[in-house]
Amino acid sequence: MKTLRLSLLAVGLVSLTLGTVAAQAQDIKPRLIRFGYGLAEASNQGRAVKVLGENVEKLSGGKIKLRAIGGAALGPDTQMQQALIGGAQEMMVGSTATLVGITKEMALWDTPFLINNSKEADALLDGPIGDKVKAKLEEKGLVGLVYWENGFRNLTNNKRAVAKLEDLDGIKLRVMQNNVFLDSFKTLGANAVPLPFSELFSALETKAVDGQENPYNTILSAKFYEVQKYLTVTNHVYSPWIVLVSKKFWDGLSKDERAVLQKAAVISRDFERKDTREEAAKALGDLKAKGMQINELSPAEAARMRDRLTRINATVATSVGMDLWNETQAELAKIRAKK
């Protein structure tokens, strides 16, 4: 009898202990963030996602984990944006240009030649204008944490070296799924076709399109040099990436958890910009070594292209709203006056 009672007690104790362990495990089970991105792991985007993940984990004391899923394995930018809005995915990084269908103000960043250098880019994006545009995402179910650098975009194609506007005639050029880009390249005389980034390499390889435009870093990391012969230095627009969180997920986080994500995002941003700029500075040499033929536009031709593209400004101003457009111009003047 005594033995039975003792063993019952033992069973009771064991199950009590197991129960507590299970409850604790429940408490400390880390939150999992599925973080999607479009470029390869071996790219400026992939490297920065890794830094973000490490910092999220470190700053949360292991309570939040970030699972990075690159190469558009979770779908192109537009599909991931919808997954974030619906709450089926927690985070992503992608081009602001593909967000225009959701938040029209994002088209501001598509304005050709809006930003002249990295100092202007950082000041504008991290300042009140960048914040204002980012804040517009919330009513659409997204939270924008920080802007990363995609970079100044340049033109590649497989038909001919583009030395003047007329050389673009008839070139079938992939653009992002965005009307400003579509209009810009139509205005320049190219046959512009919108395509998601994830389909671009094979479209170039099968010659479904002749060319595309992206920063040096991406031309390198996406191996476009394997399927593109000519690169023209145009720097026609500065393109940002934006780190996004699903608002549904964000709303369920504690204040501390939000602070962790915000802080890790800022660390990743600072890393990403430095890394991207270092890579871009030597990428042209690397692309040349890979066999690309590179040309710069003469000052006269660059001016003609710029002139033609400024026709797009009026369209952007109308779609983002005249107030935001004017505030942006004023902010840029302020940034440029600061030496």
Are 247 and 141 a contacting pair, CB within 8 Å? yes
Q: How far apart are CA 294 and CA 296, in angstroms?
A: 7
The answer to whether 148 contacts ligand TK8 (rule: CB under 6 A) is: no
- Which one, 181 or 250, has the nearer CB to ligand TK8? 181
The encoded tokens of residue 338 equal 């600061």
* Residue of minimal Cβ distance to ligand TK8: 38
- Of the residues 33, 36, 38, 309, which one makes contact with ligand TK8 according to CB under 6 A: 38
The answer to whether 149 contacts ligand TK8 (rule: CB under 6 A) is: no
Q: How far apart are CA 186 and CA 183, in angstroms?
A: 5
- Which one, 197 or 250, has the nearer CB to ligand TK8? 197
The answer to whether 151 contacts ligand TK8 (rule: CB under 6 A) is: no
- Which one, 43 or 328, has the nearer CB to ligand TK8? 43
| Alpha helix positions (H), the chain | 2-28, 44-59, 77-86, 118-126, 128-135, 179-187, 200-205, 216-221, 247-251, 255-289, 299-309, 312-320, 322-337
Query: What is the smallest separation between the CB atom of 255 and ligand TK8, expressed in angstroms?
Result: 31
The answer to whether 94 contacts ligand TK8 (rule: CB under 6 A) is: yes
For residue 144, list its beta bridge partners.
244
The answer to whether 214 contacts ligand TK8 (rule: CB under 6 A) is: yes
The answer to whether 184 contacts ligand TK8 (rule: CB under 6 A) is: no
Q: How far apart are CA 294 and CA 161, in angstroms?
A: 8
- Of the residues 197, 224, 225, 230, which one makes contact with ligand TK8 according to CB under 6 A: 197
Phi/psi for 80 (5° steps) reads -65, -40
Cross-sheet strand order for the sheet of 31-36: 64-69, 31-36, 91-95, 238-246, 142-152
The answer to whether 66 contacts ligand TK8 (rule: CB under 6 A) is: no
The answer to whether 242 contacts ligand TK8 (rule: CB under 6 A) is: no
Q: Which residues bind ligand TK8 (CB under 6 A)?
A: 38-39, 77, 94-95, 150, 176, 197, 214, 218, 239
